[in-house]
Amino acid sequence: MPPAPLGQHIVMRLREDRVLAPTVEARRAFARAVLRVAEPFALLATRASDTHVHLLVACPEPEARELGRRLGVSLRRVLALPTPFERARLRPVHDQWHLASAFRYVLGQHAHHGIGGDELFEASNLPDLLGMRLLGAHATAHVRGLLPRVGRTELLALLGVPDLDEPRAIHPDDLPDAAAGAVGLPDLAGLSAPVVAARRAALAVAAALSVRPAPRASAPQTTLASALGVHPRTLRQLARSSPDRRLVHAVLLQLRARAAVRARGGWPPDSEAARAAADRGSRLATAEVASGRWLPRARHRSSPSSRPGCPPRSSSRGAQGPLV
């Protein structure tokens, strides 16, 4: 009797071909749906091509089949698709070479099909594996355990950037969309828990990028508060609470990724929300970050424990970090 497969490569197509996620908003909605539904199924990799979806999971065929069914229902709802998905096609993965090859194939759909538009791989779990987003951190342990030869350098090569850990010329007007991207949301509108956490993390990143305290109180608060979509009073309240350190780091990586993509001519994105967020933040000139005038005056705010440009290191216990 042959050994059981190591996993399943799932391909999902609509009954009538059409682009699944043509905008940044749709790609983030795709990621939220897939990473939520696939969490119990040992997800290794996922990527939306233009007209179909790829997933690689380390689970038996019946479970993979159930994942395809649930995901078809969820994606049709969140993406408002007018036609249902076909029955998911499964291909068993029999050995380690096949598993590694399928992993690279799934995340490398842009190269395989020659498609662009998703410069930050938001319709995949690559940002989660790199620590740029926290939605799919559950896949990190599976990749570490089953694909130990896959390292950060290889994942960065897929993203097309040499390094996200070195300081870059960050554009402060990217901050609102970077914070939204770190939690997989189209923008920072509303008062949901992820939105509040993202705003708090964005404020901490602004603090980490500052080199000296704010010399004045009113105008800088108004500028940053407007960019984050809150009242200046709310900004002061956010400064009183501690941010999620992993989310702070994710926002910083999002900013650095945007700077790297911009440097190669692949920015700005095609998102109306992202453009609106950039417009709101356009008053946050680079000079304001350098001078510290981004920050609200808050006596309670703890001083940065790391050098300028780097947020404090995470002290979370038991959380799955990015691949290193």
Q: For the segment 181-224, what is each residue's pLDDT rounded down to a tens digit? A: 999 999 998 889 999 999 999 988 988 876 333 344 445 555 77
pLDDT digits (tens, 9 = 90+) for 227-261: 787 777 777 778 788 899 999 999 999 999 998 88
Query: Residue 312 falls within a domain, yes or no?
Result: no
Task: Give domain status of residue 166, yes or no.
Answer: no
Residues 184 and 147 in one domain: no
pLDDT at 283 over 70: no
Kindly indicate the confidence band of residue 225, based on its pLDDT and cuts at 50, 70 and 90. confident
| Model pLDDT for residues 118-146, shown as the tens digit of each residue | 889 999 999 999 999 999 999 999 999 99
**Which residues constitute the domain of residue 228?**
172-291
Among 213, 239, 244, which residue's Cα sits nearest to residue 225?
A: 239
Looking at 132, 159, 186, the residue that finishes a domain is 159
- Are 268 and 223 contained in the same domain? yes
Cα–Cα distances in angstroms (integers) from residue 293 to residues 96, 282, 289, in the given order: 53, 15, 6
Q: Measuring CA to CA, how many Å separate 68 from each of 13, 65, 310?
A: 10, 5, 40
Same domain, 150 and 83: yes
Confidence of residue 166 (pLDDT cuts 50, 70, 90): confident
Looking at residue 186, its pLDDT comes to 94
299 assigned to some structural domain? no
Q: What is the pLDDT of residue 269?
A: 56
Same domain? 134 vs 186? no
- Is 297 within a domain? no
Instruction: Provide the pLDDT confidence category of residue 43 given band limits of 50, 70 and 90.
Output: very high
CATH assignment of the domain containing 66: 3.30.70.1290
pLDDT band at 114 (very low <50, low <70, confident <90, very high): low
In a domain, 37, yes or no: yes
Q: What is the mean pLDDT of residues 138-164?
A: 92
Q: Are residues 106 and 176 in the same domain?
A: no
- The dihedral region occupied by 42, where left means phi > 0, alpha psi between -120 and 50, and beta the remainder, is left
How confident is the model at residue 221, as a pLDDT? Answer: 55
User: Domain boundary at 136, 159, 182, which?
Assistant: 159
Quote the number of domains for the chain. 2
Q: For residue 82, is the peptide bond before it cis, meaning its omega torsion is within 30 degrees of 0?
A: no
Q: Is the pLDDT of residue 310 over 80?
A: no
Mean pLDDT across the stretch 32-45?
A: 97
Tokens read off for 117: 């538009």
